[in-house]
Amino acid sequence: MSAIASARARDDEDDESQPLTAAARAQRQRQCLRMLGVVLASYTLDTLLLLGFARFGAIDGFAPWAYAGAGAVACGVFWVLLRSGKSEGLADPFLVVPQMLVHSAIHLAFVMWVPAVGVPLLMMLLVINAFGAMRVSRMAVLSTSALIAIGVAGVLAWGGLNVALPTGNLGQRVVSAAWFALVLARVTLLDLYGLQLRDVLMQRNAKLKAKFEKMHRRATRDGLTGTLSRRSVMELLDQQHRKFELTGQSFSIVLLDIDHFKQVNDRFGHPVGDEVLRAFSRRASAEMRTSDRLGRYGGEEFLAVLTATEDESSAHIAAERVRDGVAKHAWNRLHPDLKVTVSLGVAVCRPEETVEELLARADAALYAAKHAGRDCVRMG
């Protein structure tokens, strides 16, 4: 009976495993008390239906008021407990399971007292259990449902009770139909709210996933160029080297340095220099295979890991393709007088060679490319 309000509370809480602030505790307490309002409203509605049954002779006229009193007392007790804040430290701060058991016990007691309306009262157990399941854990739902089922079995086996649905006259049939319709309406509302809650959770998961991906990208990508950060590309290089040691499948690396980049900044300004870095990264990446990775090594220098390039000939071809693509790029779109080239030093990993030795050979090859006039590829 109380799960709709408690489900709303779940929407408003970010993480119950984290300590709540005073404002969050106050908000949750208000949610708990609103939940009791839903419960009390349900008792009020069913009391009116019981009064209808009494009006048409199905039960004694005192039973509806006793039912209303029992519900009011139960709600009052839980209101005091929740209002005091003593449940805050519990795994079930809304006291959903105790409420499910108490309200189920009330309905079972009235089934025994007025079995003539036992079927409508038993219907309410389904609503109570379904509403409570919106808040508590799966294990709590199963254990609570088992206890309720045991209680129902005991009541039905009690001294030959004639548990019935009043249909003795037209008035009783109308009230019975209304009771069924209102129970169905409550279950339907619960289902609709469950769908809404699922949509909210899916949206939250999507936002969390997007936020995680954004954080992951910030942690692994260079903020300016979008290529791998130095740390990430070095981690990739280490992984590839370990794979080489295990499988013997060699790979290559390329150190790329944009020629005369300082002059680009000095002549055209740093904003143009930043655009050159971004455009270079896009062009170089476009000329590489999808299995290769490009990272910013520092400043205008980049490091490419060619994961399945095992010999100098294929590594040279891959590097030359990048060099040619950069040279042919329409740099004049950034500035009419702008032209950008790149020098590349290539090294194929050798057996028993460390990462540091591999990088040193690529760096030496890059140095040779610069001394050879730049805009060229040299092997290390």
Nearest C-alpha neighbor of 256 from the set 340, 182, 314, 190: 340
Active-site annotation holder among 213, 300, 301, 320 = 300
300 catalytic residue (yes or no): yes
State whether 365 and 326 are in the same domain: yes
Same domain, 361 and 320: yes
State whether 205 and 246 are in the same domain.
Answer: no
Structural domain includes residue 279: yes
Q: Is residue 13 part of a domain?
A: no
Same domain, 252 and 207: no
Query: Do 267 and 189 share a structural domain?
Result: no
Whether residues 166 and 274 share a domain: the answer is no
Which has the closest alpha carbon to 179: 361, 28, 342, 46?
46
Instruction: Report whether 110 contacts 124 (CB < 8 A).
Output: no
State which of 179, 211, 243 marks the end of a domain: 211
- Name the domain count of the chain: 2
Q: Are residues 303 and 205 in the same domain?
A: no
Residue 127 placed within a domain:
yes
Q: Does residue 16 lie within any of the structural domains?
A: no
CB 200 within 8 A of CB 192: no
Domain boundary among 146, 181, 211: 211
Q: Are residues 275 and 189 in the same domain?
A: no
Same domain, 316 and 267: yes
pTM of model > 0.75: no
Here the tokens at position 363 are 């760096």
Of the three residues 160, 182, 211, the one that is the final residue of a domain is: 211
User: Are 372 and 273 a contacting pair, CB within 8 Å?
Assistant: no
What is the domain extent for residue 359?
230-379
DSSP state letters, 235-289: HHHHHHHHHHHHH----EEEEEEETTHHHHHHHH-HHHHHHHHHHHHHHHHHTS-
Per the CB < 8 A criterion, the answer to whether 64 and 175 are in contact is: no
In a domain, 221, yes or no: no
- The reply to whether 48 and 180 lie within a common domain is yes
Q: Are 169 and 57 in contact (CB under 8 A)?
A: yes
Q: CA distances (Å), 19 to each of 7, 95, 205, in order?
A: 20, 19, 21
- What does each of the 380 residues of the chain score in pLDDT, given as a tens digit? 433 344 344 444 444 444 556 676 677 677 777 888 888 998 999 999 999 999 999 999 999 999 999 999 999 998 888 888 777 777 777 888 888 999 999 999 999 999 999 999 999 998 888 777 777 777 888 888 888 889 888 888 876 788 899 999 999 999 999 999 998 888 888 777 777 777 877 888 888 888 887 777 777 888 899 999 999 999 999 999 999 999 888 899 999 999 999 999 999 999 999 999 999 999 999 999 989 999 999 999 999 999 888 789 999 999 999 999 999 999 999 999 999 999 999 999 999 899 999 999 999 999 999 999 999 999 98
Residues 236 and 352 in one domain: yes
Same domain, 139 and 240: no
Q: How much helix, strand and coil, in percent to the nearest 5, is found in the chain?
A: 65, 10, 25
**Joined tokens for residue 91:** 């795994």
Q: Among residues 298, 304, 290, 294, which one has the least CA distance to residue 347?
A: 304
Answer whether residue 10 is part of any domain. Answer: no
- CATH code for the domain of 294: 3.30.70.270
